[in-house]
Chains A and B, each alone.
Chain A
């Protein structure tokens, strides 16, 4: 059977038109029907109370890793804003073995687990490997005083908010996962939070 030229043309036109009329159809969102919103109903109030209960009732810390900023807040009120440093995201391999470390600050919800004055750093293996030094056998050789600043606020898994000797690097992601703060901001934060204060890191 031969298909005439006219049929080909007609088919192409119909197919082309169909293709032109095919796509994602963008339009503004339709509002919820009024009955779905039900403002002021007992059920709505109950849900709003449940939502409020999820929020911290007192002070809490918010840390933006990308912007290197830390805020102390209560409700929507900002009590304090500081420049900080978060994890560098860098990778370190142990040249002598299979171990590897990624220096990220974790995201998520945490709480202040402790409040430490004059914290002492027990240097982990990676700190020696990073410096190109042998990992010492003697635990006493791991102790370093003063490098974490005057205060530390641990929030789990070895991560802390602490001070730094290198305040000029604040504002850049250069740490091994902890949050560094300047001396003045650290003292103010330490005085303003309690054990259990929520920390939100994103």
Chain B
């Protein structure tokens, strides 16, 4: 293993036990996974790989939600945002139309599904990142997302549902994010 990697591994060993923003970033930046960084102070979301900022956009709102049952708030979980969240999956998943080429006919042309202005990214361990357009959601998608949120509230999901982080962004940005966020993405929140 090359020396920088050894150093990184050593740093990571210590970073997993600590909550500083640098440790969170270092832990997410290790390896070749894409990661999202939500910076609450600047209200910015960036997509990064190896600490290179590939895309950075502003959000108008950043809020964190925990469960409230019969007017009783769930106790604040201090450790909720002090570590990277892993294996984010888009929901609803990005359509994969895969237009088929007919041999002998010219290919060319653009393909691709219409990106969504409202979607979730569900991370292992129970954090869901909600990305919502400032202009609201289309009826069908909005209802589906609301139903998913309700199911998570009542625990009717396969995995754990602990908290939801909502980002409200311009419509164009939401669609852009839906098109570029890869499955398996990590998330770091800086507060």
Contact = CB atoms under 8 A, between A and B. Distances in A.
Nearest to B101: A92
Given A25-B65, A130-B103, A47 B164 contact: no
A158 to B, nearest CB: 18
A interface SS class: mixed
Contacts of A88: 107, 109-111
B180 A66 contact: yes
B101 A44 contact: no
A130 B101 contact: yes
Q: Is the interface of B mostly helix, strand, loop or mixed?
A: mixed
A202 B49 contact: yes
Nearest to B182: A107
Interface stretch (B66-74, B85-93, B116-124, B133-141): B66-74
Contacts, number: 175
B34 A89 contact: no
A1 interface: no
Contact of A54 (B21, B40, B50): B50
Interface of A: 17-19, 21-32, 36-38, 43-44, 46-48, 50-56, 60, 62, 64, 66-67, 76, 88-93, 95, 102, 107-109, 129-132, 169, 172-174, 198, 200, 202
Given A51-B29, A91-B98, A173-B110, 4 more contacts: A29-B62, A62-B54, A66-B176, A132-B105
